[in-house]
Amino acid sequence: MDPYPTPSGSGPGGRTQPVAGVRPEILASWQRSQSLGIDQEGAALPVERDLDPDSRLIRAAAPVLNRLYERFSGVPVTVALADSRANLVERWGAPAGLELMDAASLVPGANVDERFMGTSSVSMVLSTRAPFVVVGHEHFLHDLKELTCMAAPVRDPVGGTVRGAVNLSVPRVLADPGMALVLQKATERIGERLLELSAARELELMRSFQRARERGGHAELDLGSGELYRSGGPAPRLASQEQLMLLERAVELISSAGEAFAEVPLAGSRVAVLRRRELHHGDAEGAAVEVSFEDARGTGASDRGTVTAPDGRHVPLLDRSSVTAGADAPGARTEPHAAGPTDAWLLLVGEPGVGRLAAEARGRLSLLNEAGIRLGTTLDMWRTAEELAKIAVPRFADLVVVDLVEGVLAGEEPPPGHLRPGTALRRVAAWAGEDSRGVPAGGVDEPAGYPAGTPQARCLETGRPVTDSVPTAALSGSPAGRAHPVGLLGEGVHSYLGAPLSARGSVLGLAGFYRRGRTKPYEQDDLTLAGELAARAAISVDNARRYRREHRASLTLQRSLLPHVLPRVSAAELASRYLPADARAGVGGDWFDAIPLSGMRVALVVGDVPGNGLQAAATMGRLRTAVRTLAGLDLLPEEVLAHLDDLVSRTPDESADEQDPATGTTCLYAVYDPVSCRCTAARAGHPPPAVLTPGGRARLMDLPSGPPLGLGGIQPYESATVDLPAGSLLAMYTDGLLKEDRGYGDTDVRTGRLLDSLSHGGPALEDICDRIMGTLLPGSPYDDVALLLARVHALSGDRVASWEFPSDPSVVARARALTRDQLAAWGLSELDFNTGLVVSELVTNAVRYGGRGPVCLRLLRDNSLICEVSDRSNTSPRIRRAAMTEEGGRGLFLVAQFTSSWGARYMPQGKTVWAEQVPQPEQPVPETDEQALLAMFDDSG
């Protein structure tokens, strides 16, 4: 029961209309009343003279309302009973109170609907199907502003239908909230009496039917066990499913006004024939359904007897000969005729109204069952909203509109609790049947909003289903002047039911169900059904929202971990593609990378982490970082994979029985040297790369197959080296490129298509990438796909200079001289001083600590100048802090100061120490401050 609002700005006897203190739904009702032109000083109410004074509603309510009025003896109250059409059918009250009602035209038969009277408690109850209180200043008519009117609906307990409403009016100063509770208990008692009267009518119909028929034999059809007994022996058995089919069809016949009979096929070539017969007893009108059994050839399968009805009563059998064509209705088809004698048993007796309610209840269960199957078939919020709308139309509504919170569509967490008016919504579905397909009035994918006081706003605020009557004109003012979908139903007033899409304590949006006109308003059972439908849809929407958020997070994480731009290296021209898996599988852990190495070499990497989602993306980022770290150490490809395998094999907790999520990852690691034009590669369970040499055809590189990461203890990793002439094309990819839908298909065939795409590709690498993707993946891939193409280059001989010296200190001066001459030939004399210092230090270290083998010096010129010194020692060079009294120990420190970068890489025999300088001829090289350099080695003490 709504609370009593407190008016502001008006005294006890005031007749003003303050807006403050008036609820939004009352203001909305006022606006509708004003738009209808109702006179606030005195409304002209239509009066229906032909009322049934002995209707079942009056018979059920009269004794209860008499006691209610007597309970308030001494208090100037009036009690009025209205039927479901808002017609006053009976009144109780003191003579003075009844005179006031007569003055306000509230006489028996008067229609107090909002269309004629404006805002009133009865009209609000019949509109919202819920108890309602209208306080004096909230009445639209001035004559009622001194009263507080409280009303409650009278419901039929069988189906929840609102049969009418009871209004209790009392002077505003004497109103007490306890009166509303007493009124509600009275309407509940009226509902109980309606049920009692219905049961009595059903019993009288049954007795009347029994008296009208002759009693037959004594065979018995027990619908509880499904067996038919008779003295001649056992008869056909009814299965449980057959029992249910017969009862359901009987209910449909009773509630139907046109059908006279029906046939229900049964097992064993049998057919059950159901016949409907009209019944009358006093003011009760009903129908009986008889059942007889025939085989497929029309032969009777049972004899005369008695039947056990669903309520346990033993009912006499009916003689088939007495079944006449009286049940035939105009337009009914010819009744089936059985050859030979056939007995008929009474199956069900009832009133059409009760039968209709039973049929509707069964329809609701069927609708819920269908919703359980059809709702949430995909993780798509828009698709789920469309499914909800198409399930409900036309069986439950003529129009369904679904709105979701904007943030929910973006995958954000919905605000906790209920929603306030003004919350940003977006329309995701509007469906009024096939005729509405393509109609622009739906406003789908446009902002939606509902002002305070509308039933939609009440639904979002309370978080509970609400029902109301919504005029088309009241919804014409949609945001930005857009038309509301209710316009699809035409002008007028339509029945509305709003159900919130609530899941996990939050409201995600709103589902609005509309029925054309007001001939079939939504009832209490409909509220329950709509709430269940909306709840099921909300779970699917929330699951889709959570999936979308995780999918976006995974994709964002993975894209942030992949290289945004491939580096520009002299060794090769690069191009790449990455396609995430489609919505069925989610984001995976494929990656690619290109890592510049010393000596103008480049490392090319492609890997595939098993699984999907955030964990796969995070694991991919961890492995990619590890690969870049290992690549910086200039390790051989097989050593890089061995270290990765060792990293994956070690679990986070050695005592725990778990494995690294990276277990099973495949990886391909290749290093290309533009000086020697050789590519060295190793793979861990990964497909081999494809190679296309100039003038040749594409082929797969012959590489030893190593186990996936985490399983490296099975066998060691091995690498292979191939010569790649300048202009050769190297293609590295993940296995998603070779998978068809669901991962099935002929891999050899798809590999052949890949090689063919490489062989017939154009000169531009981007075009080749597009050709490969378009040929092998015309649609969305089932698995992630990573593709890395590299067209290798060669460093020409005039950019390389190398010498070999014996391991003797005297060669240092000769090395400096050769270096000086080469720099002059290259036009890099500005680097003479620094390069000479670097060569002196590196060659000296190689002679002193490099063993007895020869010392090799190599200069590489490209965008930078690289100086490399190789020896036969595997000792690791490192910078150390030399004391003031030490003469040595400063060589590598000086190398680091005069170059942009330096490092060491190891070979199967020996090592190479390198240093790189970037020429900057436009900027003068600053003179070296010897004192500052020496000061860096001063001891503090």
Per-residue pLDDT at 906? 83
Return the higher-pLDDT residue of 922 and 577: 577
CA distance readout (Å), 318 to 266, 327, 334: 21, 15, 21
Enumerate the β-bridge partners of residue 790.
574, 730
* DSSP element (H, E) containing 811: helix 811-826
Residue 203 has pLDDT above 90, yes or no: no
Per-residue pLDDT at 219? 41
Tens digits of residue pLDDT in 348-399: 777 776 666 666 777 777 788 888 888 888 888 999 999 999 999 988 999 9
* DSSP element (H, E) containing 508: strand 506-515
Per-residue pLDDT at 145? 85
d(CA 185, CA 818): 112
* DSSP element (H, E) containing 240: helix 240-255
Point out the least confidently predicted range of 216-230, 244-258, 399-413, 612-626.
Answer: 216-230
Tens digits of residue pLDDT in 66-125: 999 988 888 889 999 999 889 999 999 888 888 888 888 888 999 988 888 888 889 888
Tens digits of residue pLDDT in 823-872: 999 988 888 898 999 999 899 888 888 777 899 999 999 888 999 999 98
Residue 768 has pLDDT above 80, yes or no: yes
Burial 465-504 (b: 16+ CB within 10 A, else e): bbbbbbbbebbeebeeebebbbbbbeeebbbbbbbbbbbe
- In the structure, what pLDDT confidence band is assigned to residue 936 with cuts at 50, 70 and 90? low
Per-residue pLDDT at 283? 59
d(CA 807, CA 849): 10
Are 643 and 667 in contact, with CB atoms under 8 Å apart? no
